[in-house]
Amino acid sequence: GAVVSQHPSRVICKSGTSVKIECRSLDFQATTMFWYRQFPKQSLMLMATSNEGSKATYEQGVEKDKFLINHASLTLSTLTVTSAHPEDSSFYICSASSGKDPYTQYFGPGTRLTVL
Amino acid sequence: DQQVKQNSPSLSVQEGRISILNCDYTNSMFDYFLWYKKYPAEGPTFLISISSIKDKNEDGRFTVFLNKSAKHLSLHIVPSQPGDSAVYFCAASSMASGTYKYIFGTGTRLKVLA
């Protein structure tokens, strides 16, 4: 149980384009979903927290207009990187937690974004 | 300001022996801690958690110890197996904040030698 999927697993795009990453909880209802970014050999940095049906809460320093997050249902959250630049290239990971156990987060496999 | 620190970037252990991974934190508001295991190009996998009302939690080969006064926790893996080779992250949260957000350490790469 507690499986979280992400799609795509890898994406390469041109500078200036937008990229959408999907995060799905496959066998539980995700009350809360989190989006992280990981740079090589560094820790996971929380970008934003999203609760189903409400606006995402962004961490300090994360541009909400650049990283659009939508949590439209209890099983799906999307992260859209708008007008991507090479510095947005990174490994993006989502996690999900349920109302039954809000303190345990289950992570997706991650999405490797490369912006040319 | 790194609130959660894993000072050893890497650790090598012989198969069958004990692996001890350490984690230190600075924020005294943290009261719930998790350990995750991560393989390259994959998301982290939850291993074990501990609340600040306990000083030890055990699950099979994995035991987490919490020393609140020292703001230190450790993960013990006994016996270590080659499949345990991965990067291990500790993460800390404040239940009182009600946000369920975690601060992650930078990870320790464990290599278990056959």
Distant-in-sequence, close-in-space partners of A21: CB < 8 Å, separation ≥ 6: A6, A7, A8, A11, A78, A79, A80, A81, A92, A94, A111, A113
Q: Cβ contacts (< 8 Å) between B103 and chain A: which residues?
A: 46
Indicate if the pLDDT at residue B97 is higher than 80.
Answer: no
State the smallest CA–CA distance between residue B50 and chain A in angstroms. Answer: 11
The pLDDT score that the predictor gives to residue A46 is: 92
Sorting pLDDT into bands at 50, 70 and 90, what band is A1?
low
**Is residue B108 within 8 angstroms of chain A, CB to CB?**
no
The pLDDT score that the predictor gives to residue B43 is: 84
Q: Cβ contacts (< 8 Å) between A34 and chain B: which residues?
A: 101
**Is residue B43 within 8 angstroms of chain A, CB to CB?**
yes
Query: Tens digit of pLDDT for each residue in B59-88?
Result: 999 999 999 999 999 999 999 999 999 999
Indicate if the pLDDT at residue A60 is higher than 80.
Answer: yes
State the smallest CA–CA distance between residue B78 and chain A in angstroms. Answer: 23
Query: Tens digit of pLDDT for each residue in B8-47?
Result: 999 999 999 999 999 999 999 999 999 999 988 788 899 9
The pLDDT score that the predictor gives to residue B1 is: 67
Q: Cβ contacts (< 8 Å) between B42 and chain A: which residues?
A: 109-110
Per-residue pLDDT averaged across A108-115, rounded?
94
Sorting pLDDT into bands at 50, 70 and 90, what band is A41?
confident
State the smallest CA–CA distance between residue B43 and chain A in angstroms. Answer: 4
Q: Cβ contacts (< 8 Å) between A32 and chain B: which residues?
A: 100
- Exposure on the CB side of residue A75, measured as CA atoms within 13 A: 8
Q: Cβ contacts (< 8 Å) between B100 and chain A: which residues?
A: 32, 49, 97, 102-103, 105
State the smallest CA–CA distance between residue A72 and chain B in angstroms. Answer: 20
| CA–CA distance, A51 with A31 (Å, rounded to integer) | 6
Tell me if A43 and B89 make a contact (CB, 8 A cut-off).
yes
CA–CA distances in Å: residue A82 to residues A26, A55, A108, B81, B101: 26, 17, 21, 43, 25
Query: Tens digit of pLDDT for each residue in A61-93?
Result: 999 999 999 988 899 999 999 999 999 999 999
Percent residues over pLDDT 70 in chain A: 99
